Amino acid sequence: MALPQSKVDETTARIEGLTLPDGAVWANAARTSALGRLQEMGLPGRRDEYWRFTRPEGLNAVEAAPAAILKSDEPPMFDGIDRLKIVFRDGEFDAEASDELALEGLEIERLVDATSTDIHWAKEIFGALEARGQTPVARPFAALNTAFASEGIVIRATKKVSKPISLIYLHESEVSDAMLHFVIRVETGADLTVLENGPAAARFNKCMEVEIADGGAFHHVRAQGRDHERQAVTHIFAKLGAESVFKSFTLTVNGRLTRNEAVIEMTGDDGVAHIAGAALGDGDFHHDDTVFVTHDALNGESRQVFKKVLRNGAVGAFQGKILVKEGAQKTDGYQISQSLLLDEDAQFLAKPELEIYADDVACSHGSTSGAIDDGALFYLRARGIPKGIAQDLLTLSFLAEAIDEIEDEAIAADILGRLEGWLSRRRDG
């Protein structure tokens, strides 16, 4: 099918100023092939099935729109947690600010180094999971990322890693346009936690490919900063082996545009994949979760829990799919997407999808949109809790199911503190 000329032109313009990084033969091949994919599918347009809720213009534009830098009065995210810190400033690796890239049970290095090495384990994953994730739904920004991102980290965990890898994304230039690419492999019996935090840049494109071998476990918690004007498009591609675990939670507060895509494929029996998100927006905020979970093995369990709190013109979108392939019997798939609209101006758009080709499965999905419950609010106030605090309590209770998906208590407490901070800064009375 020929691409419309407008898409060809837009795509050509977008890549014109970019250069493919040069590295080892395998890496160059992967990048060239990603570029080919991108040119074939073109950048997204409003008429594309999965771009009806979200305008891609800001992401398609050749230049990133400037974004003001927020001066935070809060302590840094995950401050109290012992972790291996890796710092990027506007998408540039900062060796000085980062910890030494070494930890027992880990092979960890910069993407530039890995992609310059002729023989490297990352070869099997880099661009490969992204390419798999392009069907049946095109994800042009992920292909763009594979082709052009030179920075990032590759991580191979071979045992239970003693502390989380903490990726810290600082936003320091108002006009930065950053791309980062991560390749992660969790070997059999290994257990790895990756934390991400920060706005990263005025415009940020991130792609993370995660392969979890049989019996491996991967935990992921991220917070996308507090900057109001920044735009971000992120992808996680995860491929799960037998009896493996994938758990991911994302906190998004503020941000003019966020598109978080997750493509999760369960290829081994008895896998567990949970993906959750809490998004809070006030004003110029558009947040889109687009999730695709494929069950292609027996007895898999997947959960999607997405909650959005919206006010003052903020828009939330959710597109979530559970695909159960033929033969993926005993699949247990759950999906919930809910929004709490704090006023009449906020908007929530949802497209939940189930596609099932096996007969012995239990799948459920639900999507709701509503306001704070008057009866509950009165009950709290009648006990002496001021209106603003009562509203916040009910808002936190709305978010609780998503927060509960974070296994680590200290990390969950940190996230909860950020939510409370965001709410209290907006509390009326």
Partner 1 sequence: MLNINNLHVKLEEEEKQILKGVNLDVPAGQVHAIMGPNGSGKSTLSYVLSGRDGYEVTDGSATLEGEDLLEMEPEERASAGLFLAFQYPVEIPGVGNMTFLRTATNAQRKARGEEELSAADFLKQIREKAKSLKIDADMLKRPVNVGFSGGEKKRNEILQMAMLEPKMCILDETDSGLDVDAMKLVAEGVNALRSEGRSFLVITHYQRLLDHIKPDVVHIMADGKIVKTGGPELALEVENNGYADLLSEVA
Q: How far apart are CA 25 and CA 6, in angstroms?
A: 33
Q: Which is nearer to partner 1, 393 or 412 (CB)?
A: 393
Cβ(169)–Cβ(200) under 8 Å? Answer: yes
Residues near partner 1, by CB under 8 A:
374-376, 378-387, 389-390, 393-394, 396-401
Q: Which is nearer to partner 1, 103 or 389 (CB)?
A: 389
Q: How far apart are CA 421 and CA 74, in angstroms?
A: 9
Q: Which is nearer to partner 1, 17 or 429 (CB)?
A: 429
Q: How far apart are CA 218 and CA 184, in angstroms?
A: 9
- Smallest separation, CB 338 to partner 1 (Å): 12
- Smallest separation, CB 392 to partner 1 (Å): 10
- Smallest separation, CB 396 to partner 1 (Å): 7
Identity of residue 327: G
Q: Which is nearer to partner 1, 272 or 310 (CB)?
A: 310
Q: Which is nearer to partner 1, 18 or 380 (CB)?
A: 380
- Smallest separation, CB 251 to partner 1 (Å): 17
Non-local (6+) Cβ contacts of 28 within 8 A are: 20, 22
- Smallest separation, CB 423 to partner 1 (Å): 14
Peptide bond into 136 cis (omega under 30): yes
Q: How far apart are CA 9 and CA 114, in angstroms?
A: 33
Task: Name the residue among 310, 265, 262 with its Cα closest to residue 284.
Answer: 310
- Smallest separation, CB 376 to partner 1 (Å): 5
Q: Which is nearer to partner 1, 180 or 419 (CB)?
A: 419
Q: Which is nearer to partner 1, 62 or 413 (CB)?
A: 413
Buried b / exposed e along 38-59 (16+ C-beta atoms within 10 A): bbebbbbbeebebbebbebebb
- Smallest separation, CB 254 to partner 1 (Å): 23
Non-local (6+) Cβ contacts of 235 within 8 A are: 130, 133, 139, 141, 142, 145, 206, 207, 208, 261, 262, 263
Q: Which is nearer to partner 1, 17 or 384 (CB)?
A: 384
- Smallest separation, CB 408 to partner 1 (Å): 20
- Smallest separation, CB 354 to partner 1 (Å): 25
Q: Which is nearer to partner 1, 47 or 383 (CB)?
A: 383
- Smallest separation, CB 382 to partner 1 (Å): 5
- Smallest separation, CB 390 to partner 1 (Å): 8
Q: Which is nearer to partner 1, 319 or 391 (CB)?
A: 391
Task: Name the residue among 270, 327, 259 with its Cα closest to residue 302.
Answer: 270
Q: Which is nearer to partner 1, 313 or 388 (CB)?
A: 388
